[in-house]
Amino acid sequence: MIEPSPPGTKERMLDAAERLFAERGFAATSLRAITAAAGVNLAAVNYHFHSKEALLAAVFARRLGPLNRQRLELLAQARSRAGRRSPPLEEILEAFLAPAFRLHRDLAPAGPGFPSLMGRIYAEPGEHIRVILREQFGEIAARFTEALKEALPKLPPAELYWRIHFMIGAMAHTLAGSRALGLVAGGRCDPPDVEGTIRRLVVFLAAGLRAPAARRTRRSRTR
Amino acid sequence: MIEPSPPGTKERMLDAAERLFAERGFAATSLRAITAAAGVNLAAVNYHFHSKEALLAAVFARRLGPLNRQRLELLAQARSRAGRRSPPLEEILEAFLAPAFRLHRDLAPAGPGFPSLMGRIYAEPGEHIRVILREQFGEIAARFTEALKEALPKLPPAELYWRIHFMIGAMAHTLAGSRALGLVAGGRCDPPDVEGTIRRLVVFLAAGLRAPAARRTRRSRTR
DNA sequence: GTCTATATGGGGATAGAC
DNA sequence: GTCTATCCCCATATAGAC
């Protein structure tokens, strides 16, 4: 569905890198492990890509291009449905969140590699990763921040920025498919239910974003 | 305030490890870098701790013991204030969140090492880390899940588990002090304002947790 | 484009003197 | 408890044959 043709060397390496980076983290994954999993020679990684870092960048570029295009398209659809008003907050959130989560399903045979990697990447240090994030998310962040501002005109901008930060945290952690869920739920949640996850996250985030801004005055700290 | 006596070799190593693990990630940080930063000999790490993984576990154990005790104490205080009723949702959230964020301030001279590390650790793969998380957070997760259930009696348990998951994601991402904030806010948020951050996060999460559970029926997916 | 072989450096861990 | 010196392995990257 995504790529029906038999994968060549380059694609097999991207697939393997995507999966192993997601499973073990960037620094902990060796090029040897990747080339072995892909069934290609070790030297191929330096022929097709330049370096390990460039391989990571290629992994991201391959998915995030289409993914971000889909996000913007869903946002545009929501805008055209809304006419001159702001689209409903829920539709903005869904346009942002759903494409990432649906990769879980659409890439099912290849495993949950990329979404999990995308969820983790926000937490990984390293300069190259910062660069990848800025390049891939800059426009998306600007467009959705603008849409959220219109949908929440009464929220002070600083408050909105914080809440977007919280939102990204919730999204990333959920995408990462973290073990932490098992800590608390004992297996009672259902990770494969992608649409349910999106819906739950949208409901949660919409309510959080709509909350009245915190007032300055609360009881003084005792500690 | 936390440790007035001059730090010995072991403490200096824990300090350096905490900071470097937070800045560079576990796998990307060498023991050589840690011992150099601490001003101790390389071999000391294998004398005082057993291995690199055991050093990481020691870093966590040193902070999470007091931190989790403080969380339970704040929860107990909220319970006693509330009498026979459930404590307000906001106070439960604050009991859970505030101790972690206040380390940012209380450990200020040593830098934001541990909170940032704690925020990132949820996203790091690796079996040892999973073990650390389970041992350090098991009781906390159980106690706070119970308190949240009482405060939100109408919320189906499965929904609550998901929302706790979202909550941990927002907390972790915020603790990690992520670069992503800069992406969206352009420096208009104020990370050092710890109490403000706690307040904002509590307001956001309380609203999300209180949202009516999502209904099954929404418009059918077009894609 | 793909392979073998290797250069070059760094990693964690440890032995054994002091 | 702390040091030096070293073991042994694995990392990324590249050279050069096919």
Mean per-residue pLDDT for A180-205? 76
User: Dihedral of CA A113/A114/A115/A119: which sign?
Assistant: positive
Q: Which nucleotides of D are covered by protein (CB under 7 A)?
A: 1-6, 10-16
Closest chain A C-alpha to B26 CA, distance in angstroms: 9
| pLDDT value, residue B186 | 60
Phi, psi of A75 (to 5 degrees): -65, -40
Mean per-residue pLDDT for A80-84? 97
* Residues 6 or more apart whose Cβ sits within 8 Å of residue B49: B13, B55, B58
Output the six-digit token pair for B146.
Answer: 């119970």
Residue B51 DSSP symbol:
S
**Pairs from A154-161 (Cβ < 8 Å, separation ≥ 24):** A155/A209, A155/A213, A156/A213, A157/B188, A158/B185, A158/B188, A158/B189, A159/A213, A159/A214, A159/B200, A160/A209, A161/B181, A161/B184, A161/B185, A161/B188, A161/B189
The residue type at B160:
L
SS (H, E, C) A82-137: HCCCCCCHHHHHHHHHHHHHHHHHHCHHHCCHHHHHHHHHCCCCCHHHHHHHHHHH
| pLDDT value, residue B115 | 86
Considering A21-25, A141-145, A175-179, the range whose residues carry the highest mean pLDDT is A141-145
Mean pLDDT in chain A?
Answer: 88
The residue type at B129:
I
Residue A145 has pLDDT above 90, yes or no: yes
Higher per-residue pLDDT: B188 or A102: A102
What residues in chain B have per-residue pLDDT under 70?
1-6, 104, 108-112, 178-192, 216-223
Mean per-residue pLDDT for A168-176? 94
CA gap B144, B146 in Å, rounded: 5
Distance, first Cα to last Cα, chain B: 57
Contact B58, B10 (CB under 8 A): no
User: Would you place residue A17 in the very low, low, confident or very high pLDDT band (cuts 50, 70, 90)?
Assistant: very high
User: What residues in B contact A165, CB-CB < 8 Å?
Assistant: 173-174, 178, 180-181, 184-185, 189
Chain A residues 33 to 62 whose Cβ lies within 7 Å of strand C are 40-44, 47-48
Closest-lying nucleotide for A48 based on CA to C1'? C1
Contact yes or no for B170 and A172 at CB 8 A: no
Nearest CA to A76 out of A146, A133, A12 is that of A146
Number of neighbours of residue A167 by Cβ within 10 angstroms: 28
CA at A6, C1' at C2: how many angstroms apart?
A: 19
User: What residues in B contact A201, CB-CB < 8 Å?
Assistant: 162, 166
Contact A114, A21 (CB under 8 A): no
How many contacts (CB atoms, under 8 Å) link A and B?
Answer: 207
At A23-34, the pLDDT tens digits run 999 999 999 999
The residue type at B220:
S
Residue A208 has pLDDT above 50, yes or no: yes
Nearest CA to B162 out of A106, A115, A170, A214 is that of A170
| pLDDT value, residue B118 | 92
Mean per-residue pLDDT for A56-72? 96
Protein residues with beta carbon less than 7 Å from any atom of strand D: A 29-33, 42-43, 45-46, 50-53; B 8-9, 40-44, 47-48
For B117, how many CA atoms within 13 A lie in the half-sphere containing its CB?
29
Contact yes or no for A173 and B165 at CB 8 A: yes
